[in-house]
Amino acid sequence: MNISQASEATGLPAKTIRYYEEIGLIRPDRRANGYRDFADTEVHKLRFLARARALGFGSNDCRSLLALWGDRARASADVRRIAHAHLAEIEAKITDLTAMRDSLSHLVVTCAGDDRPDCPILKTLSSSD
**Whether pTM exceeds 0.85:** no
Q: Is the pLDDT of residue 80 over 90?
A: yes
- What confidence score (pLDDT) does residue 113 get? 87
In this prediction, residue 45 carries a pLDDT of 97
Looking at every residue in the chain, the average pLDDT score rounds to: 95
Reported residue count of the chain is 129
Residue 86, exposed/middle/buried by CB under 10 A (0-12, 13-18, 19+)?
middle
Nearest CA among 27, 90, 98, 30 for reference residue 57: 90
Predicted local distance difference test score (pLDDT) of residue 94: 98
Q: What is the DSSP letter of 28?
A: -
Q: What's the rounded mean pLDDT across residues 87-116?
A: 95
